[in-house]
Amino acid sequence: MRTIIVTPTFNEREALPGTLRRLLTALPHVDALIVDDGSPDGTGTWAEQEALRDEAAEGRRRIHVLHRASKQGLGPAYLEGFAWALERGYEVIGEMDADASHRPEQLHRLLDAVDAGADLAIGSRWVPGGRVHNWPAHREVLSRGANIYARLMLGLSVHDATAGFRAFRADLLRTVLAGDAVASQGYCFQVDMTRRADGAGARIVEVPIDFDERTEGASKMSSAIVREALVRVTQWGAAHHGRRLQATVGGWADRIVQARRSRR
């Protein structure tokens, strides 16, 4: 299946070259789409030059670049990348960070899961066999805690709903994006897409991966991103449990009515 991996970037000039080289070496048949938010460090310019160099060497365009005017958030960058890929007929659309925290050599695990029937494959740190490397304790506590909270609030079976290493079937993305507008800006975008896929009845499969702490460039994690995720997940969770309560009460009411009718 035609596959493309979407990678948002902002000031990733140090990290992107190695990540992209590893991706295209591990999976030469896969295309890459760099969605650059106007990086002042020249990430977008380098990506354009590398796309031309790679095309000349390979005889086909494997690297594509979308330029955005400014930093507008992770969610909007992914949405623009997804729309671009869907318009061009890609059948599998993946996500991967630019900093090699996701190992490109393990991407085949996600693609194999999709090939075996998954609508969404998630590279998970928190299933048996998944591991994180060189993370400080507070980062692991934050990630594990956030995922437990998301599972409880949203009724998800997914253990790593915040993961950004994914592969979607195009049909699932079309279904998910045809609903209410996705407004998440930061890392809660991943939770939002997970709950939407779950709500659409998608077959979601988690495969274990190794997650490496970045060694080049700077992390984009901030307190504002954490607050956004906490607020939105709480709102979605309240709505989810409200619907469940309404359905339960409605079921009780129906049984009472049926019982009364049967006694007449």
Residue 181: what pLDDT? 81
CB 172 within 8 Å of CB 180: no
pLDDT tens over the chain, length 264 residues: 999 999 999 999 999 999 999 999 999 999 999 999 999 999 999 999 999 999 999 999 999 999 998 888 899 999 999 999 999 999 999 999 999 899 999 999 999 999 999 999 999 999 999 999 999 999 899 999 999 999 999 999 999 999 999 999 999 999 999 988 887 777 789 999 999 999 999 999 999 999 999 776 566 556 776 777 788 888 888 887 777 656 665 556 566 657 666 666
For residues 56 and 30, the answer to whether their CB atoms sit within 8 Å is no
Q: What is the pLDDT of residue 194?
A: 96
Give the predicted TM-score (pTM) of the model: 0.87
CA of 123: how far to CAs of 168, 231, 254, in Å? 12, 25, 42
pLDDT confidence of residue 7: 98
How many residues are there in the chain?
264
Query: 3-263 belongs to which homologous superfamily?
Result: Spore Coat Polysaccharide Biosynthesis Protein SpsA; Chain A (3.90.550.10)
Task: Using alpha carbons, select from 101, 95, 91 the residue that is nearest to residue 32.
Answer: 95
168 by DSSP, 3-state: which?
A: strand
